[in-house]
Chains A and B, each alone.
Chain A
Amino acid sequence: MSATETAPAGTAAADPGERELTYLGAFNEAMFQLMRQDEDIFVAGEDVGVQGGVFGSFKGLAEEFGDRRCVDTPIAEQAIVGLGIGAAVAGLRPVVDLMFMDFVMVAMDQIANQAAKLKYMFGGKAELPLTITTNGGAGLSAAAQHSQSLEAMLCHVPGLKVVMPSSPYDLKGLMVACVRDNNPTIIVKNKRMFGSTGPVPEELYEIPLGVANVVREGADITVVAYGRMVEESAKAAKRLSEEQGIECEIVDPRTVQPLDTETIVASAKKTNRIVVVHEAVRFGGLGAEIAAQVQEEAFDYLDAPVGRIAAPFSPIPFSPGLEGHYVPNAKRISAGILETLGRPVPGA
Chain B
Amino acid sequence: MSDIASTPATVGVIANPLAGKDIRRLVAEASPTSDMAKIGIVRRAVIGAIEGGAERVILADDRRGIAARAIDGLSASGVKILVLDEPIIDSGMNSQRAARRCREEGAGAVIVLGGDGTHRDVAKGWKSAPLIALSTGTNNVFPRQIEATVAGHAAGLVASGRVVLADASAQAKCIEVEVESAQADDGGAAAGVTDDLALVDVALVSNTFTASRAVWDASTLRELVAAIAEPATVGLSAVAAALAPTLRTEPGGVHVRFGESNGSEGLDGAGGPASPGPDTTVRAPIAPGLYSSVVVASHRRLGSGEAVEVEGPGSLSFDGERDVTLQRGQRATMTITADGPHVIDVEQAMRCAAGTTPSKHQPAEND
Contact, chains A and B (beta carbon distance below 8 A): no
